């Protein structure tokens, strides 16, 4: 199984509608591939909040309208913030039936107020046990950060290092939400508190955007990237049902299975995209993925091992934190970045000699976890 | 590929929450099958409006909470009113990876006002071209009815016959939304107009409910029902982009493909479940499925060919019209009925000697169409 093409829009506060964004990403992905739209056998659409934000569900039919001459099977997949990777996971399974599949993820989030966004994003959490108790997502991840700090001696400075790295990387990514201005350590440190210990720079932004990926059962060109692992696991939605909070069990299960499928270990990874919806989650991800041992992620960021020139570069596009987090598109934007890196086409942010990459996409606080592994031997 | 078990809740205005309904249906389907929950490799969840109605998305993780000891891949699928069948379609493809799969569809709709329901249901239509112009679903299907009447001489009395048959059938289905009272021709005829020519009895109700299906790659018992056809097609979302309105192109494509897969013709069908969200759509479905020729559906209902004792019994459970339409569950409730009939377990509404059945599930006004064919040779 291969990635034939990737495409995306800029992420940020955009003027385009949801269908316009989806169209741009699909168009770019098809143009990036060696095949044409007529070769596509099925389409998967990932989107989280089209209903609550834009009063538009049934997005598979909306996407059908964007392909006027084609009558295809198109399905929408939703698993909160992991929707993009879940659609990819599903599409990979469907390669058992179709030769080529297009996956498009889209989200339009910036037409609403902060209050609406807070309520809408809360739909990824448990309504009865968590949401109605005020446990919105910054509070969720603040609990994770508090426990990580208490258990391992992680500090807010460590989180600041994650934000600083990712904002630095996004300056090298022309499509990133935060590409336009330098972010200093001082700006990060002095930002207003959102949910202690997390401040504004620990949180990913509300973004519009779309991303698309074309996959195939068979290789079609030298630029294609092989998909060697694809795994998805779910866990209880409410934090009140979890055994521990400094690790996400579904992510550990998904990465273990994906490594087995790809026949690699974390030491083989050259480039990694993780779900840093909050900075603390980049640290948790490093540990869940086995890149470092539990509690050691703070040491890795202090030693700059995850920068573009480090041992295992993480979130070279800026991550959710600085590239942006248009939810339905996020998992596919991770694939865009890994594919671009493995092809050696990442220009200013290129990781030299990258051959194996991984994407880690999370829904809620680990209610869904999806891991994919990619390989390209040039 | 086989259906091993089916389960559902009563449909109607229920006191249970969305997770409680899903749990009941899953429990019933597993108990109806020869396997246990530990044998399940993956779960698909279908739901349309959990976000807008219940402020709960990420339902795959909610379902994970209902299976506390299991860590499975679970994915939510949404394609408006075709969500249930789309999840089944997807699950059938995933039998390439998993031996046994559970599909559960759920919808909780009755906690909201009529105004909210109208807006929420409208999310299945095109927001820009149709919804904001007042083209809500009763108006959509009223246009279809007007054109069908003009083109073929269909009358409102023909639609009344559909409602009368389906309400009669639901009296024989103890789980139906409208099981409790006799509905007369006079009540149907004199009901208030909703969108001319459609009156109240042309419209399916707002229901709560859940349904679940267990499928497997291999047969496990004599009660299993073989899945011989599975097809899904999409079409443009806006009616303004359609070539014609008295037929749904996606439904014609899906049924054609499903018949080819099953190697049967419409003449072989013993029992059919169609998407009668409005009575006119039962007539359109009969024509799209090739059960009769275009324009002849009115003659078939006049001649009572689609009653339980007729040539091709349609909607023996009462259909969406009288069994109810808890959207995410609807497509799977159709599978519940066909499976029950093919097993000869439908009691008072049993179609004698039924061996081949079909389900026809529609999203929007044909933006999505899914057709499945089932067979059991006793």
What are the pLDDT digits (tens) for B277-288?
999 999 999 999
Say whether pLDDT at A242 is over 90: no
What pLDDT digit, counting tens, does each position of A275-313 carry? 999 999 999 999 999 999 999 999 999 999 999 999 999
Question: Are the Cβ atoms of A49 and B57 closer than 8 angstroms?
Answer: yes
Sign of torsion over alpha carbons A310, A315, A317, A323: negative
The 8-class DSSP code of residue A240 comes to G
Rounded to whole angstroms, how far apart are CA atoms A119 and A136?
A: 8
* Rounded mean pLDDT, B351-360: 98
State the Rg of chain A over Cα. Answer: 19
Q: Of A35, A124, A47, which is closest to residue A87 (Cα–Cα)?
A: A47
What pLDDT digit, counting tens, does each position of B19-72 carry? 999 999 999 999 999 999 999 999 999 999 999 999 999 999 999 999 988 999
- Do residues A279 and A202 make contact, with C-beta atoms less than 8 angstroms apart? yes
The count of other CB atoms within 10 Å of the CB of residue B220 is 17
Residue A288 with chain B: CB contacts under 8 Å: none
Number of compact structural domains in chain A: 1
Rounded to whole angstroms, how far apart are CA atoms A161 and A197?
A: 14
Q: Is A325 annotated as catalytic?
A: yes
Rounded to whole angstroms, how far apart are CA atoms B15 and B326?
A: 14
Q: Point out the catalytic residue in the list A148, A167, A325, A360.
A: A325
Q: How confident is the model at residue B204 (pLDDT cuts 50, 70, 90)?
A: very high
Residues 6 or more apart whose Cβ sits within 8 Å of residue B62: A126, A237, B18, B19, B22, B45, B56
Which residue in A62, A74, A368 is closest to B61 by CB distance? A368
What pLDDT digit, counting tens, does each position of B332-348 carry? 999 999 999 999 999 99
Percent of chain A's residues with pLDDT above 70: 100
Q: How confident is the model at residue A241 (pLDDT cuts 50, 70, 90)?
A: confident
Cα atoms found within 13 Å of the Cα of residue A304, Cβ hemisphere only: 7
Directed axis angle between helix A279-288 and helix A156-170, to 10°? 100
Show the domain range for B11: 2-112+210-216
The residue in chain A having the minimum alpha-carbon distance to the alpha carbon of residue B363 is A58
Residue appearing with tokens 């220009």:
A347
Residue A134's pLDDT is what?
Answer: 87
Residue A241 with chain B: CB contacts under 8 Å: 65, 68
How does the average pLDDT of chain A come out, rounded? 97
Residue B9's pLDDT is what?
Answer: 98
How does the average pLDDT of chain B come out, rounded? 97
H/E element, B193: strand B193-195
Percent of chain A's residues with pLDDT above 90: 94
Rounded to whole angstroms, how far apart are CA atoms B255 and B362?
A: 12
Residue A64 with chain B: CB contacts under 8 Å: 234-237, 367
Say whether pLDDT at B378 is over 80: no
H helix runs in chain B, sequence order: 18-32, 50-54, 59-65, 83-94, 114-122, 137-152, 156-170, 185-189, 249-262, 279-288, 297-302, 319-322, 327-342
Question: Are the Cβ atoms of A75 and B90 closer than 8 angstroms?
Answer: yes
Say whether pLDDT at B356 is over 70: yes
Rounded to whole angstroms, how far apart are CA atoms B9 and B273?
A: 18
- Do residues B83 and B49 make contact, with C-beta atoms less than 8 angstroms apart? no
Rounded to whole angstroms, how far apart are CA atoms B217 and B16?
A: 33
B100 assigned to some structural domain: yes
A105 assigned to some structural domain: yes
Say whether pLDDT at A378 is over 70: no
Question: Are the Cβ atoms of B58 and A65 closer than 8 angstroms?
Answer: no
Q: How confident is the model at residue B133 (pLDDT cuts 50, 70, 90)?
A: confident
Which residue in B64, B231, B253 is closest to A234 by CB distance? B64
A136 assigned to some structural domain: no
B interface test, pick of A17, A20, A56, A75 with most B CB neighbours within 10 Å: A75
Question: Are the Cβ atoms of B61 and A232 closer than 8 angstroms?
Answer: no
State whether residue B131 is helix, strand or coil.
helix
Residues 6 or more apart whose Cβ sits within 8 Å of residue A342: A225, A271, A354, A355, A356, A357, A374, A375, A376
B108 assigned to some structural domain: yes
CATH number, domain of B67, equals 3.40.47.10
Active site residues of B: 81, 325
How far apart, in Å, are the Cα atoms of B247 and each of A39, B84, B269? 27, 22, 20
Residue B239's pLDDT is what?
Answer: 87
* pTM: predicted TM-score of the whole model, two decimal places: 0.98
Rounded to whole angstroms, how far apart are CA atoms B59 and A365?
A: 14
B62 assigned to some structural domain: yes
Residue A210's pLDDT is what?
Answer: 98
B interface test, pick of A41, A42, A47, A51 with most B CB neighbours within 10 Å: A51
Q: Point out the catalytic residue in the list A81, A203, A277, A292.
A: A81
Q: Of A141, A168, A35, A132, which is closest to residue A81 (Cα–Cα)?
A: A141
Which residue in A48, A253, A368 is closest to B60 by CB distance? A368
Q: DSSP string spanning A274-322?
A: ---SBHHHHHHHHHHTTSS-TT-HHHHHHTTTTSTTSSS-B-TT-HHHH
Which residue in B51, B93, B127 is closest to A52 by CB distance? B51
What pLDDT digit, counting tens, does each position of A299-308 carry? 999 999 999 9
**Paired residues of A76 in beta bridges:** A45, B78
Say whether pLDDT at A237 is over 80: yes
A143 assigned to some structural domain: no
Cis, bond preceding A197 (omega within 30 deg of 0): yes
Residue B68 with chain A: CB contacts under 8 Å: 236, 241
The count of other CB atoms within 10 Å of the CB of residue A116 is 14
Say whether pLDDT at B319 is over 90: yes
What distance, in Å, lies between the first and last C-alpha atoms of chain A? 17
Structure-token pair, residue A275: 């779900």
List b or e across B60-99, with b for residues whose CB sees 16 or more CB atoms inside 10 angstroms.
bbbbbbbbeeebbbbbbbbbbbbbbbbbbbbbbbbbeebe
Say whether pLDDT at A175 is over 90: yes
B92 assigned to some structural domain: yes
* Rounded mean pLDDT, B354-364: 98
A interface test, pick of B44, B53, B61, B365 with most A CB neighbours within 10 Å: B61
Q: How confident is the model at residue A120 (pLDDT cuts 50, 70, 90)?
A: very high
- Do residues B321 and B198 make contact, with C-beta atoms less than 8 angstroms apart? no
CB pairs A-B closer than 8 Å: 191
A interface test, pick of B40, B47, B57 with most A CB neighbours within 10 Å: B57
Residue B56 with chain A: CB contacts under 8 Å: 123, 127
Which residue in B17, B65, B249 is closest to A241 by CB distance? B65
Residue B241's pLDDT is what?
Answer: 85
Structure-token pair, residue B182: 């006799």
The residue in chain A having the minimum alpha-carbon distance to the alpha carbon of residue B50 is A123
Say whether pLDDT at A20 is over 90: yes
What pLDDT digit, counting tens, does each position of A206-216 carry? 999 999 999 99
The residue in chain B having the minimum alpha-carbon distance to the alpha carbon of residue A68 is B236
Which residue in A61, A120, A367 is closest to B61 by CB distance? A367
What distance, in Å, lies between the first and last C-alpha atoms of chain B? 17
Residue B58 with chain A: CB contacts under 8 Å: 78-80, 123-125, 237, 363-364, 367-368
B6 assigned to some structural domain: yes
């Amino acid at each position: 199984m291969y990635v034939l093409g990737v495409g995306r829009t800029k992420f940020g506060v955009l003027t385009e509608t949801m269908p316009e964004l989806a169209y741009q990403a699909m168009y770019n992905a098809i143009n990036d591939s060696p095949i044409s739209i007529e070769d596509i056998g099925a389409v998967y659409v990932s989107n989280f909040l089209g209903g609550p934000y834009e009063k538009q569900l049934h997005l598979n039919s909306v996407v059908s309208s964007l392909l006027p001459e084609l009558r295809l099977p198109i399905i929408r997949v939703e698993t909160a913030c992991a929707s993009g990777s879940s659609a990819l996971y599903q599409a990979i399974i469907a390669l058992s039936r179709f030769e080529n599949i297009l996956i498009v993820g889209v989200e339009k989030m910036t037409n609403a107020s902060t209050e609406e966004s807070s309520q809408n994003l809360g739909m990824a959490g448990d309504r009865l046990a968590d949401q109605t108790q005020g446990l919105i997502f910054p509070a969720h991840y603040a609990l994770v950060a508090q426990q990580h700090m208490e258990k391992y001696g992680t500090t807010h400075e460590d989180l600041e290092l994650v934000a600083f790295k990712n904002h630095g990387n996004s300056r090298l990514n022309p499509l990133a939400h935060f590409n336009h201005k330098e972010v200093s350590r001082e700006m990060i440190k002095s930002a207003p508190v959102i949910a202690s210990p997390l401040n504004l720079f620990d949180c990913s932004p509300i973004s519009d955007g779309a991303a698309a990926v074309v996959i195939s059962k068979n290789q079609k060109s030298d630029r294609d990237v092989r998909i060697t692992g694809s795994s998805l696991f779910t866990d209880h939605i409410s934090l009140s049902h979890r055994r521990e909070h400094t690790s996400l069990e579904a992510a550990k299960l998904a990465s273990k299975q994906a490594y087995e499928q790809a026949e690699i270990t974390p030491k083989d990874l050259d480039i990694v995209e993780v779900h840093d919806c909050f900075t603390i989650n980049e640290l948790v991800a490093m540990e869940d993925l086995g890149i470092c041992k539990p509690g050691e992620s703070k040491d890795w960021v202090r030693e700059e091992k995850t920068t573009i020139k480090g041992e295992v570069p993480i979130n070279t596009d800026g991550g959710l934190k600085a590239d942006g987090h248009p939810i339905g598109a996020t998992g596919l934007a991770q694939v865009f970045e890994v594919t671009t890196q493995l092809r050696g086409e990442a220009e200013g942010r290129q990781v030299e000699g990258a051959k194996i990459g991984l994407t880690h996409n999370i829904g809620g606080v680990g209610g869904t976890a999806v891991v994919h592994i990619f390989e390209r031997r040039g």
